[in-house]
Amino acid sequence: MKYSAPEFMGALPPELEELKQLVRGVVQRECIPLESKFLTHRPGDEPDPKGGAWLETPTTRNETLVDGALTQADWDRLTRISKETGLYSATLPEEYGGFGFGVLGSFVIAEEFKRSVVPLPVPEAPPVLFDCSEIQREKYLEPTIRGEKEYCFCQTEPDAGSDPGSMRTTAVREGDEWVINGTKTFISRADRATYQLVLAVTDPEKRQHGGITMFIVDADTPGITLAPIDTWLAQKAGQFTITYDNVRVPAENLVGEEGGGFRLGQSWLIISDRLTRGSMATGFLTRGLEMAVEWSKARETFGKPIAERQAIQWMLVDVFLDIKAIRAMSYECATRADRGEDVRTYAAAAKFMGGNWGHRSMDNIMQILGGMGEVLESPISHWYRGLRHGRIGGGTDEIQKMLMARAILNQGVSLWEA
């Protein structure tokens, strides 16, 4: 019997490859040419005579902690393009205009978006609300999809980062309300959010085993205070500490079931945070590698291009291998998620590889580019910081390795066999 080689397992289905090329083209034509303009302006700069005020990034799934601004005219044009191409709603459920390509399709889109520091405006709707109540759907989910509202995810606490089960923020039922007290920290976009998804302990005995609940909290509720946190990621305060002092939330704002918040929070982290570190890395690195190859061929030292130097060639090889490995693990994680499988271990691997290996490869790219890799008008230094942050945000490298080690010991051979 003649052996027939199967189709390459790492290849995307034709419809996703077509989607990938669509997004690649839009980002290449519309976003990348605006990068220099975006990175050299800040909100509050003297208004542009033709484009108006300089504004930071609008509601977008592609937001990164990068200082920059475009004019209202620029954002309006990008938003129009996003809607005309269908990319504005592409990753939403089909009933909301999505393409229906699942987690893998969302990964493919995110990877292409990440090739530019200029984001294509799209709504960021929290997946945990796709199965919310009708009241919550009308009040929070649908306005978020329309770009009228934004959210922030509030889990991390000063003494409960990598171990969310030890959180101290509490919610106590009083009649038709819940009263929340506690502190959350390193919360991204808290200053822009119109509502917060807050995890709080409702049963101190059960905690992560049925004693943590998720609530929707309007950002203007009395008792909420924000304090900016200065980090090296950007000059603007992208992260905040939030204090809740007897914050009253109506019972109808409980998400899911009482005690089910830890599961919802973990599901958000697995797909909306950890797996996205893979798309962030491959998006940054594919464009970065292209820039490094072009530079190494053009840059000459001692009479010949640095591309002919073995030291440079080996760094390029290392970046290539990291891209392929990160993408392969991420594709597998996304595909398994679309099948309904438990992907906690695969998401931990994608996050670890995206943050850790992604950072080391971006370091190589910066080294190849030399001083040009450090200028703030280029994406490289911004991507460098973003990938280094990926080794901490959403769970440290050490936590991901702990999760993977636990799975190796408990699941055995089935985990690593093809």
- Per DSSP bridges, beta strands 151-154 and 195-201 are parallel
Would you say 154 and 219 are in contact if contact means Cβ atoms under 8 Å apart?
no
- The answer to whether the CB of 53 falls within 8 A of the CB of 85 is no
Phi-psi region of 352 (alpha: psi -120 to 50; beta: other; left: phi over 0): alpha
DSSP 250-272: EGGGEESSTTBHHHHHHHHIIII
C-beta atoms surrounding 73 within 10 Å: 13
Residue 99 burial (CB count, 10 A): 18
Distance from C-alpha of 116 to C-alpha of 35, rounded to nearest angstrom: 7
What is the per-residue burial (b if ≥16 Cβ within 10 Å, else e) of 170-201? Answer: bbeeeeebbbbbbbbbbbbbbebbebbbbbbb
Domain 151-255 sits in CATH 2.40.110.10: yes
Give the chain's residues under pLDDT 50: 5-6, 60-62
Could you tell me the sign of the dihedral formed by the alpha carbons of 162, 141, 127, 173, in that order? positive
Output the CA–CA distances (angstroms, integers) from residue 188 to 74, 103, 223, in the order listed: 24, 23, 19
Rounded Cα distance between 123 and 128, Å, is 15
Query: What residues form DSSP beta bridges with 226?
Result: 242
DSSP string for 224-244: EEEEEE--TT-SS--EEEEEE
pTM for the complete prediction? 0.92
pLDDT at 59: 55
The pLDDT score that the predictor gives to residue 165 is 85
Interaxial angle between packed helices 275-298 and 358-369, expressed in degrees from 0 to 180 and rounded to the nearest 10: 20
Distance of alpha carbon 350 from alpha carbon 343, whole angstroms = 10
Q: Residue ranges per domain, the chain?
A: 14-125, 151-255, 263-415
pLDDT for position 64: 59
Measure the CA–CA gap between 257 and 203, rounded to whole angstroms. Answer: 13
The domains spanning 14-125 and 263-415 adopt the same CATH topology: no
Given 1.10.540, 1.10.10, 3.40.1710, 1.10.3210, which CATH number is that of 14-125?
1.10.540
pLDDT per position as a tens digit, 3-13:
554 455 567 89
CATH 1.20.140.10 fits 263-415, yes or no: yes
